């Protein structure tokens, strides 16, 4: 997960037993990989095994990550890190207070960010 991302306390995969089971996001549910660029890593071996995988510079907003990952893996192939995605080790930071309007919307919808995950 990525802290202070997408207008939420955090955004990223929901995981169980080392596998991705869903996504904690506020928009773009139809994206094949609704994950922020800061929230994943790719091994060099995987990139070398798929030499045609590329980031599409013309991808629509929110689809850059999917454009690369679709050429490398499926969601079932993803390997959950950060203690089953319950720890945050990367944040979007700015020198201004974060805007959390998406978090407020999810709270109103009864889907708030997990308060057990420290941001």
Catalytic site positions:
65
Q: With the C-alpha atoms ordered 56, 35, 30, 19, is the resulting torsion angle positive or negative?
A: positive
Rounded to whole angstroms, the Cα distance separating 119 from 57 reads: 31
Q: According to DSSP H, which parts of 12-112 are helical?
A: 44-49, 64-69, 82-85, 101-108
Rounded to whole angstroms, the Cα distance separating 63 from 57 reads: 10
Tokens of residue 66, six digits: 């999917």
């Amino acid at each position: 997960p990525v802290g202070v991302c997408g207008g939420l306390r955090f955004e990223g995969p929901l995981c169980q037993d080392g596998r991705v089971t869903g996504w904690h996001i506020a928009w773009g549910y139809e994206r094949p990989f609704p994950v922020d660029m800061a929230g994943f890593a790719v091994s060099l071996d995987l990139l070398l095994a798929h030499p045609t995988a590329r980031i599409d510079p013309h991808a629509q907003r929110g689809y850059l990550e999917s454009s690369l990952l679709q050429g490398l893996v499926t969601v079932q192939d993803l390997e959950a890190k950060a203690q089953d995605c319950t720890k945050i080790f990367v944040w979007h930071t700015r020198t201004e207070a974060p805007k959390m309007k998406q978090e407020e919307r999810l709270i109103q919808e009864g889907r708030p960010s997990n308060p057990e995950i420290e941001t």
